Chain A
């Protein structure tokens, strides 16, 4: 029989202590923050993966991540974090099904029922606190296993006073956000369509892209209306994938290799679940999350700081709203900037050069990890045909989708 080797179970990894002056000099009391992304791996990126179970898909992704990082999950990892939801899996208490395929049997593992970037934040906290030197974050989408995903999204509305009014596709909330955003910012309707045009075109150069297409604004705006003004070609479609990240403390990361990408700041925030009370035009939760990440990373002028950004584009208008929330565009100006090519792959600031969710596909709670994956490939100089020249600083951001108001942001650098 196999014996558990728990020799590292009681190890506390000492963290550098900072002088009072050093901490006082740092903005808003945030400690200097540097966690290394030392390995990435993924599997899937297909509309359907009928040949593999969720767990087998995860094993493929995790094996690649551990090989990439040069770590043995049975010995070198002190914390595993999984980001998934029971209803998407179709198994209750689904966290219990996660250990084996990640190498996490009889090891510390927890599940975060939220987006992958919040999983990254959790792993960062485990590392910062000294209970882990190396931590693993996994998230996946096996949407092809779900026959009626709209039923699950709809069930996210308040059960007593919202859910039962409407027998409508849950995207009506996106339609309402979009309408208010357009009205309040004066953004032209066609600029939203241009987001879909840009991202679907970018995805044609991405080997992970499932929904790439060379189309124009007319086709996007004339595609079927999902919930006005939002059309079908402005709504991302679910695909399958598993994505795994290996994170390490700065000290450990330096030992593990020379292609580390650093997490320099991370933030997340949730607005009220009372949908009526939210600001439909603005993503306040993204403003908050970005504000925290910027302070942590000491980013003073976001609009000129980054070399690329991978931001939420679950729906076309979301990209514009997110760009404005993160101050990469002034209020009401993101649409015009998309239309004039500022955010093209070869523009001033490439936004979703990967193709984003509209071009690659939507990955449920793994969407944030997808954006991070694309940014890490860029910062490593391994993005192939997508490569943004001299990419050194990247911004990634995610939203948890309808009907949530939760967003997460991370600042990355190489």
Chain B
């Protein structure tokens, strides 16, 4: 079927022609809707965030403390055993400064994305979040940070109850 095309006949269809209905143009807004059950682990995690706390689950077998919490240890393959409160401080494991929005637009204010390994959880256990109150050039792997919380009135039991992590 393929052939070497050296020139194309015709001309481009203009947006106005499409608007006028001159060509078949199907626009359909697909709107699936979900009401996901958060489950035992994440429900408790979010409820505790509302109270300004970060909680984790501990596996007695490998003794890891898992953040975000899970009701099962994926490595030992057994149920986790205990709720543990961890700190709201941590260390930047890695980060990236995103200059492009989801619609491919260049962002005037870049988004500072980081994984923060949480103090009190096992090494490598972290929360993916934003950084704030920091100059872009000053961000580094290994930087110590702390959660900046919304006021208790504003918190709704969401990961965004933490506004961002700032350097300490």
Q: Could you list which residues of chain A lie within 8 angstroms of chain B, going by C-beta atoms?
A: 1-2, 49-56, 59, 66, 72-74, 87, 90, 99-101, 103, 105, 142, 144-148, 151-152, 155, 159-160, 163-164
Interface centre among A66, A74, A160 (most CB of B within 10 A): A74
Q: Check: B34 CB closer than 8 A to any chain A CB.
A: yes
B26 x A145 contact (CB < 8 A) = no
Total A-B residue contacts, Cβ distance less than 8 Å: 82
Q: Check: B28 CB closer than 8 A to any chain A CB.
A: yes
Question: Which residues of chain B come closer than 8 Å to A55, judged between CB atoms?
Answer: 39
A145 x B37 contact (CB < 8 A) = yes
B33 x A50 contact (CB < 8 A) = no
A148 x B33 contact (CB < 8 A) = yes
B70 x A147 contact (CB < 8 A) = no
Minimal Cβ-Cβ distance residue in B for A66:
B77
A146 x B28 contact (CB < 8 A) = no
B124 x A1 contact (CB < 8 A) = yes
Known: A72-B77, A103-B77, A159-B26. A53 touches B36 (CB 8 A): yes
Minimal Cβ-Cβ distance residue in B for A104:
B74
Interface centre among B36, B64, B79 (most CB of A within 10 A): B36
Known: A59-B72, A103-B77, A160-B26. A146 touches B38 (CB 8 A): no
Question: Which residues of chain B come closer than 8 Å to A74, judged between CB atoms?
Answer: 75-77
Report how far A144 CA is from B37 CA in the complex, Å.
Answer: 9
List CB contacts (< 8 Å) of B65-93 with chain A: 70-72, 74-77, 79
Size category, B interface:
20 to 34
B75 x A2 contact (CB < 8 A) = yes
A152 x B71 contact (CB < 8 A) = no
Question: Which residues of chain B come closer than 8 Å to A144, judged between CB atoms?
Answer: 37
B31 x A142 contact (CB < 8 A) = no
Q: Check: B168 CB closer than 8 A to any chain A CB.
A: no
B31 x A151 contact (CB < 8 A) = yes
Report how far A163 CA is from B30 CA in the complex, Å.
Answer: 11
Minimal Cβ-Cβ distance residue in B for A62:
B77
B79 → A minimal CB distance (Å): 8
Q: Check: B21 CB closer than 8 A to any chain A CB.
A: no
Interface centre among A103, A152, A163 (most CB of B within 10 A): A103
Report how far A34 CA is from B41 CA in the complex, Å.
Answer: 41
Q: Give 5 pairs: A residue, B residue, CB < 8 Å, sorted on A.
A: A1-B123, A50-B37, A53-B38, A100-B70, A148-B33
Majority SS at the chain B contact face: loop
Question: Which residues of chain A come closer than 8 Å to B35, judged between CB atoms?
Answer: 145, 147
A146 x B32 contact (CB < 8 A) = yes
A72 → B minimal CB distance (Å): 7
A274 → B minimal CB distance (Å): 18
A151 x B39 contact (CB < 8 A) = no
Other A-B pairs, 17, CB within 8 Å; known A145-B37, A148-B32: A49-B37, A50-B37, A51-B39, A52-B37, A53-B36, A53-B40, A54-B36, A59-B79, A66-B77, A100-B70, A103-B77, A105-B75, A147-B33, A155-B32, A159-B28, A160-B26, A164-B26
A275 → B minimal CB distance (Å): 18
A59 x B32 contact (CB < 8 A) = no
Q: Check: B42 CB closer than 8 A to any chain A CB.
A: yes
Q: Check: B62 CB closer than 8 A to any chain A CB.
A: yes
B80 → A minimal CB distance (Å): 11
B37 → A minimal CB distance (Å): 5
Report how far A151 CA is from B34 CA in the complex, Å.
Answer: 11
Report how far A41 CA is from B34 CA in the complex, Å.
Answer: 27
A318 → B minimal CB distance (Å): 25
A163 x B28 contact (CB < 8 A) = yes
List CB contacts (< 8 Å) of B5-32 with chain A: 24, 26, 28, 30-32
Known: A72-B77, A105-B75, A164-B28. A56 touches B41 (CB 8 A): yes
Minimal Cβ-Cβ distance residue in A for B76:
A74
B36 x A90 contact (CB < 8 A) = yes
Question: Which residues of chain A come closer than 8 Å to B24, judged between CB atoms?
Answer: 160
Question: Which residues of chain A come closer than 8 Å to B30, judged between CB atoms?
Answer: 151, 155
Known: A100-B72, A101-B72. A52 touches B32 (CB 8 A): no
A143 → B minimal CB distance (Å): 11
Question: Which residues of chain A come closer than 8 Å to B36, judged between CB atoms?
Answer: 53-54, 90, 145
Minimal Cβ-Cβ distance residue in A for B34:
A90
Pick the 8 closest A-B CB pairs, nearest first.
A53-B39, A100-B74, A147-B33, A90-B34, A103-B77, A56-B39, A2-B75, A105-B74
Interface centre among B35, B64, B72 (most CB of A within 10 A): B72
Question: Which residues of chain A come closer than 8 Å to B72, judged between CB atoms?
Answer: 56, 59, 100-101
Minimal Cβ-Cβ distance residue in A for B74:
A100
Report how far A105 CA is from B62 CA in the complex, Å.
Answer: 15
Question: Which residues of chain B come closer than 8 Å to A164, judged between CB atoms?
Answer: 26, 28
Minimal Cβ-Cβ distance residue in A for B40:
A56
Report how far A145 CA is from B32 CA in the complex, Å.
Answer: 11
Question: Which residues of chain B come closer than 8 Å to A146, judged between CB atoms?
Answer: 32-34
Report how far A260 CA is from B34 CA in the complex, Å.
Answer: 39
Known: A56-B71, A105-B75. A87 touches B38 (CB 8 A): no
Question: Which residues of chain B come closer than 8 Å to A54, judged between CB atoms?
Answer: 36-37, 39
Question: Which residues of chain A come closer than 8 Å to B28, judged between CB atoms?
Answer: 159, 163-164
